[in-house]
Amino acid sequence: MESLGRQSYSRKEKSLGVLVSNFLRLYNRDDVDLIGLDDAAGKLGVERRRIYDVVNILESIGLVARRGKNQYSWRGFGQVPTVLSLLKEEGMREKFGIIPCVTNSEMVLYDQVREEPLKLSPDDQENSPSPKLDCKKEKSLWVLAQNFVKLFLCSDDDLITLDGATKALLNVSQDPMNMRTKVRRLYDIANVFSSMNLIEKTHIPETKKPAYRWLGPKAISEARFLAAPLCDRIEPKKRVFGTEITNFTTTKRAKTDCSKDQKQYESQNNTCSVIKQEQCDYKSAVKSLVGPLSPAGTSKKTNPGKSNNQSIDVLETLSSTHKLQYCNHELIGLLGHYTDTWRSWHEEFGRK
DNA sequence: CCTTCCCGCCATGAT
DNA sequence: ATCATGGCGGGAAGG
């Protein structure tokens, strides 16, 4: 039915790296707090599946945090140095303690972070206080990405090749097939990180083999992702590339579920802005509320989230503009935490 | 040819 | 059952 649209399909403009750039350009604003997956997919013109990739990788660096179903929160670049030092510490402590265990036809990752870095969201609402041993989920992209950066942070050698990383991240895989799959993921991750300038693609001097060099958080060119200066709208004025190409031209499947997708993508576009608006209101409210409350007063028993020292350290490294931004994000995070806590308490008491 | 890695099928888990 | 999540690898673009 439809023609092939524009000539020359380019694989490059659909790469994860580009997607991430657009993602950051879209959400790296001081007035963004919540990120809806559907909203992101719609605005960026890609299918949902890709957003999962982006968000998982970004989360490994602390740029975003999972808030709940369909919802992530923007944490910002100010968070990155903190997370990186946590990762480094962790990586050093366990000396690359990723011990893959090959059992017959299955690969099982041993242990895994018993203490997750950056613990902000206490896992959605409704969480029974049972210390269930879970961590079934911790198995990939997110973890792989973290281990990848640990390699850079904990290695004395700053040039790392992808199959070197593969070798290091799983234990001498005998199966070449398994390795191929893993390398694919590493390509994805590397693309994302290099598009942020966290790492840089080069090659080994002698061998000419492609490799990556660590550039570090200070090299992250946040400016590139600051979007337009001053206040402007998130209007669809700048439709991103081949918007929705994938979604609708590829009706290869006669499954009968086309209508479902369509429906979903239609009704989502304005949800996020509404939420964002509400959050802004919270923000100013909280600001005035917290003023007299925050300094050492601590009337609450438990301290949610993180240690104050760390936050303060981070603050020292930021410009005044970003300090404000950072503080706001922290406050929103705390507010969210308290809200969640209160909600679960309320539910529990209400029920019993 | 080999490297890079997008795409989307489909398993798995939550509701 | 439907929906959310994301592992996984085929196979095509890029070099």
Instruction: Verify if strand C has an atom below 7 Å from the CB of A52.
Output: yes
Considering only CA atoms, name the residue closest to the C1' of nucleotide C7.
A140
| pLDDT of A227 | 59
Nearest to A22 by CA among A201, A172, A243, A269: A243
Q: Whose C1' is closest to the CA of A59: which nucleotide?
A: C6
Measured CA to CA, the distance from residue A61 to residue A81 in angstroms comes to 9
Q: Of all nucleotides in the shown strands, which has a C1' nearest the CA of A264?
A: C3
Contact A149, A122 (CB under 8 A): no
Q: What is the structure's pLDDT at A173? A: 55
Statement: the CB of A132 is under 7 Å from strand B = no
Bridge-partner residues for A72, per DSSP? A35, A66
Proximity of residue A137 CB to strand C below 7 A: yes
CB of A97 nearer than 7 A to strand B: no
pLDDT number for residue A326: 38
Distance CA A236, CA A212 (A): 35
Q: A149 with A61: CB under 8 angstroms?
A: yes
Q: Which residue is nearest to nucleotide C13 (CA to C1')?
A: A11
Q: What does the pLDDT read at residue A308?
A: 35
Protein CA A49 to sugar C1' C6 (Å)? 8
Query: In the numeric block, which tokens belong to residue A103?
Result: 């059992």
Nucleotide nearest the Cα atom of A188 (by C1'): B5
The predicted-structure confidence for A135-161, as pLDDT tens digits, reads as follows 335 557 999 999 999 999 998 888 999
DSSP A317: T
Rounded Cα gap, residues A334 and A215, in angstroms:
32
Residue nearest to nucleotide C10 (CA to C1'): A181
Q: What is the rounded distance in angstroms from the CA atom of residue A65 to the CA atom of residue A118?
A: 9
Give DSSP secondary structure letters for A75-144.
--GGGHHHHHHHHHHHHHHTTS---EEEETTEEEE-S--SS-SS--S-SSS---S-------STTSHHHH
The CB-side HSE value for A9 (13 A sphere, CA atoms) comes to: 9
CA of A36 to C1' of C15 (A): 38
Q: Is the CB of A49 under 7 A from strand C?
A: yes
Q: In what order do the strands lie in the sheet with A64-68?
A: A34-36, A71-74, A64-68
Under DSSP, the state recorded for A67 is E
Is strand B less than 7 A from the beta carbon of A237?
no
Q: Which residues of chain A have pLDDT under 70?
A: 1-8, 95-139, 171-174, 221-223, 226-352
Structure tokens at A190: 């590397």
Would you call A29 helix, strand, or coil by DSSP? coil
Spatial distance from the CA of A6 to the C1' of B14 (Å): 41
Q: Which residues make Cβ contacts (< 8 Å) with residue A139, sequence separation at least 6?
A: A109
Taking the C-alpha atoms of residue A252 and residue A58, their distance in angstroms, rounded to an integer, is 31
Beta carbon of A346 within 7 Å of strand C?
no
Residue ranges in chain A assigned as alpha helix (H): 16-27, 37-44, 48-61, 80-93, 141-154, 162-169, 176-195, 245-249, 258-266, 271-290, 308-316, 320-351
CB A195 under 7 Å to nucleic chain B: no
A37 CB contact with strand C at below 7 Å? yes
Torsion sign (Cα): A142, A66, A329, A22: positive
Nearest-nucleotide field for A185 (CA, C1'): B5
How many CA atoms lie within 13 Å of A325's alpha carbon, on the beta-carbon side? 19
Vertex A344 angle, CA A123 and A352, to 5°: 135
Q: Is A97 exposed, middle or buried (0-12, 13-18, 19+ CB in 10 A)?
A: exposed
Distance B10 C1' – A262 CA (angstroms) = 20
Angle between helices A271-290 and A37-44 (to 10 degrees): 130
Quote the pLDDT of residue A177. Answer: 83
A95 touches strand B (CB under 7 A): no
